Amino acid sequence: MPIIEIGNNKKYELLSILAVGTSGNIFKGEDIETGRIVAIKIKTKISSLTRAEGTILSLLNHPNIVELVSYNHIREIGYIVMGYANSGDLHSYINERKIKNEYQARNIFQQISRGLCHAHSVNICHRDIKPENIIIFDQTRFVLGDWGFATSFSRKRGHVQRCGSLGFCSPELLLGKPYIGPEVDIWALGVTLYTLMEGRCPFFGIDVDETVDLIVNGLYIIPFNWSDELADLFSRMLTINPKERITINQILEHPWMKLDESVGCYSNNYLRKKEIIDSPSVSTWKSRPLSNSTLSHRDGRTSRFLRQPSIDIIKREAEPYGNIPVVPLLDFLAENDEEKESTKKTKLSKLSPRSLWRSFRKRN
């Protein structure tokens, strides 16, 4: 196998390929000097957005964030050496049906949330949280990986870049609304929580149009056998208005995060028949009829999820974005390019959800 040198006379032997991406590939490698097994991301397509991944990882130090060993750029090729996840990723873990109850799901979710909390505490947002990007060490430690779309954020200025996978995108992302950063991570984290419990995304229409419509209008179903605490946490994470969405610190302090093993466990004979299907290949699935997806409260308001009529969980609601015209999506921009682009006048577009998503994918 080939041997590469990545700065400071560090040499690694490439053993096998782990994943293929749009900007480059990830290899399993071995440090020639120490024998340590590592993961090496080799980026052959370097942009102003993805160039910052190594720098961002160097600012993060947490057991639930992938470890950066070293990084370098040589002749327009980026090399990022990271810790090697010897137990696969969360996507495969869920498909193997290893999660049996809320306690197990909570243990995984707590680890992911702690890692994200550390990133947000140093003003870094991930922007591509999904099971495929959560890797596993020694079958027990769940780690946020793939920080290729990560960026710093400031409360004084919003971002305009479009990142992520359809099923995990927040309404403001799909509608071209400016965003700070943490709020889109929280939405994606909420979708990941649902996936931990159900083995599928909460927004899964019969086609792309319906899936986008479900996300933009915040239409989803909460299973009747979730605990009340879990239903409450999930609904707060998927609040349509990003300003009213729960924060990562509030998530860690939520009552569901502090339940013990004996509380809030659903049956082993659960809806574990379906496997996760990668977005945007949504045509394989058929959604439940939308006419059955809402319940009326005693005060006449409509809840956007389905539970047993005897349980009255109130979801924090805001005006949906459904009637707001869609702004044409912009190319991925570097931080210094965003300010220039923000001065341009963008025309409002009447793009259909399908055209919107196709435009989005071309830039992703």
Q: Which residue has the higher pLDDT, 277 or 254?
A: 254
Domains with residue ranges and CATH for the chain: 3-83 (3.30.200.20), 90-303 (1.10.510.10)
pLDDT of residue 355 exceeding 60:
no
pTM: 0.74
Residue 354 pLDDT class (50, 70, 90 cuts): low
Residue 28 pLDDT class (50, 70, 90 cuts): very high
Write out the H or E segment, with its range, that includes residue 18: strand 11-20
Three-class secondary structure assignment of 214-276: HHHCCCCCCCCCCCHHHHHHHHHHCCCCHHHCCCHHHHHCCHHHHCCCCCCCCCCCCCCCCCC
Can you tell me the mean pLDDT for 9-24?
85
Q: How far is CA 149 from the centre of its chain?
A: 11
**Which sequence positions are flagged as catalytic?**
128
pLDDT of residue 301 exceeding 80:
no
The pLDDT, as a whole number, for residue 242 is 94
Can you tell me the mean pLDDT for 10-14?
90
The pLDDT, as a whole number, for residue 358 is 55
The pLDDT, as a whole number, for residue 261 is 54
The pLDDT, as a whole number, for residue 356 is 52
- Tens of pLDDT, residue by residue over 132-191, are 999 999 989 999 999 989 999 998 888 888 888 899 999 999 998 999 999 999 999 999
